[in-house]
Protein backbone atom coordinates (compact mmCIF):
# COMPACT_ATOMS: atom_id res chain seq x y z
CA UNK A 1 0.00 0.00 0.00
CA UNK A 2 1.48 3.30 -1.09
CA UNK A 3 0.87 5.91 1.57
CA UNK A 4 1.63 9.55 2.21
CA UNK A 5 1.77 10.83 5.77
CA UNK A 6 1.52 14.39 7.02
CA UNK A 7 1.16 15.94 10.44
CA UNK A 8 -2.38 17.28 10.42
CA UNK A 9 -1.43 20.22 12.62
CA UNK A 10 -2.59 22.83 13.08
CA UNK A 11 0.76 24.53 12.67
CA UNK A 12 0.71 28.09 13.91
CA UNK A 13 3.48 30.59 13.09
CA UNK A 14 3.76 34.35 13.50
CA UNK A 15 3.78 36.61 10.48
CA UNK A 16 7.27 36.86 8.97
CA UNK A 17 8.45 33.54 10.37
CA UNK A 18 9.46 30.41 8.45
CA UNK A 19 6.80 27.71 8.26
CA UNK A 20 8.09 24.16 7.83
CA UNK A 21 5.77 21.45 6.56
CA UNK A 22 6.80 17.83 6.37
CA UNK A 23 5.66 14.74 4.52
CA UNK A 24 6.82 11.13 4.47
CA UNK A 25 5.92 8.42 1.98
CA UNK A 26 5.99 4.67 2.04
CA UNK A 27 7.59 3.50 -1.18
CA UNK A 28 10.96 4.38 -2.63
CA UNK A 29 9.64 3.75 -6.14
CA UNK A 30 7.97 7.15 -6.15
CA UNK A 31 9.00 9.53 -8.89
CA UNK A 32 7.41 12.94 -8.46
CA UNK A 33 6.43 15.01 -5.47
CA UNK A 34 3.98 17.87 -5.27
CA UNK A 35 2.77 20.46 -2.80
CA UNK A 36 -0.72 21.83 -3.13
CA UNK A 37 -2.33 24.64 -1.19
CA UNK A 38 -6.02 24.44 -0.39
CA UNK A 39 -7.98 27.31 1.08
CA UNK A 40 -11.07 26.43 3.06
CA UNK A 41 -13.91 25.42 0.73
CA UNK A 42 -11.73 25.69 -2.37
CA UNK A 43 -9.95 23.19 -4.58
CA UNK A 44 -6.23 22.35 -4.32
CA UNK A 45 -3.78 24.63 -6.14
CA UNK A 46 -0.35 23.41 -7.20
CA UNK A 47 2.44 25.52 -5.69
CA UNK A 48 5.58 23.39 -6.04
CA UNK A 49 6.84 20.15 -7.54
CA UNK A 50 10.17 18.41 -7.20
CA UNK A 51 11.68 15.34 -8.82
CA UNK A 52 15.31 15.23 -7.72
CA UNK A 53 17.02 15.08 -4.37
CA UNK A 54 17.90 18.44 -2.92
CA UNK A 55 16.22 21.81 -2.78
CA UNK A 56 14.06 23.67 -5.24
CA UNK A 57 13.22 27.31 -4.66
CA UNK A 58 10.39 29.39 -6.06
CA UNK A 59 10.00 32.80 -4.51
CA UNK A 60 9.21 32.39 -0.80
CA UNK A 61 8.73 28.63 -1.20
CA UNK A 62 11.42 25.94 -1.01
CA UNK A 63 10.72 22.26 -1.53
CA UNK A 64 13.24 19.77 -0.15
CA UNK A 65 13.43 16.13 -1.17
CA UNK A 66 15.38 13.32 0.45
CA UNK A 67 14.60 10.05 -1.30
CA UNK A 68 16.87 7.95 0.91
CA UNK A 69 14.90 9.04 3.98
CA UNK A 70 11.61 9.12 2.06
CA UNK A 71 10.58 12.59 3.05
CA UNK A 72 9.73 15.80 1.32
CA UNK A 73 9.27 19.16 2.99
CA UNK A 74 8.03 22.62 2.16
CA UNK A 75 9.48 25.78 3.68
CA UNK A 76 7.59 29.04 3.47
CA UNK A 77 9.77 32.05 4.26
CA UNK A 78 8.38 35.39 5.46
CA UNK A 79 5.00 33.78 6.14
CA UNK A 80 1.97 35.96 5.49
CA UNK A 81 -1.58 35.67 6.83
CA UNK A 82 -2.62 34.90 3.24
CA UNK A 83 -0.54 31.71 3.48
CA UNK A 84 -3.02 30.36 6.02
CA UNK A 85 -4.43 27.25 4.35
CA UNK A 86 -4.15 23.48 4.29
CA UNK A 87 -1.04 22.20 2.54
CA UNK A 88 -1.35 18.88 0.80
CA UNK A 89 1.61 16.70 -0.04
CA UNK A 90 1.13 14.44 -3.06
CA UNK A 91 3.30 11.69 -4.47
CA UNK A 92 3.16 10.18 -7.92
CA UNK A 93 4.15 6.60 -8.43
CA UNK A 94 4.36 6.06 -12.16
CA UNK A 95 3.64 2.36 -11.74
CA UNK A 96 0.04 2.98 -10.68
CA UNK A 97 -0.70 6.15 -12.64
CA UNK A 98 -2.24 8.03 -9.75
CA UNK A 99 -1.38 10.94 -7.54
CA UNK A 100 -1.68 9.96 -3.86
CA UNK A 101 -2.33 12.67 -1.30
CA UNK A 102 -1.65 13.02 2.38
CA UNK A 103 -4.36 14.31 4.71
CA UNK A 104 -2.88 17.79 4.68
CA UNK A 105 -1.42 20.13 7.30
CA UNK A 106 -3.41 23.16 8.39
CA UNK A 107 -1.17 26.22 8.60
CA UNK A 108 -2.23 29.37 10.42
CA UNK A 109 -0.12 32.51 10.13
CA UNK A 110 -0.91 34.97 12.90
CA UNK A 111 -0.60 38.72 12.21
Among 86, 102, 75, CA closest to 5: 102
Burial class (CB in 10 A: 0-12, 13-18, 19+), 51: exposed
Please identify which residue in 11, 13, 75, 101 interacts with another protein, judged by CB under 8 A: 101
Indicate the residue among 62 and 86 with the shorter CB distance to another protein.
86
Q: Is 97 in the site for another protein (CB under 8 A)?
A: yes
Least CB distance to another protein at residue 68 (A): 20
Cα angle 64, 68, 74 (rounded to 5 degrees) comes to: 15
- Write the DSSP symbol of residue 40: T
Least CB distance to another protein at residue 97 (A): 5
Among 66, 32, 27, CA closest to 49: 32
Q: Which of residues 23-62 bind another protein (CB under 8 A)?
A: 31-32, 34, 36, 42-46, 49, 51
Which stretches of the chain bind another protein, using CB under 8 A?
A: 4, 6, 31-32, 34, 36, 42-46, 49, 51, 88, 90, 92, 94, 96-104
Amino acid sequence: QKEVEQNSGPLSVPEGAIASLNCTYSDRGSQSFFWYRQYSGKSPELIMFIYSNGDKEDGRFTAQLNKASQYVSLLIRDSQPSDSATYLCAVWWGSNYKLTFGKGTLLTVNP
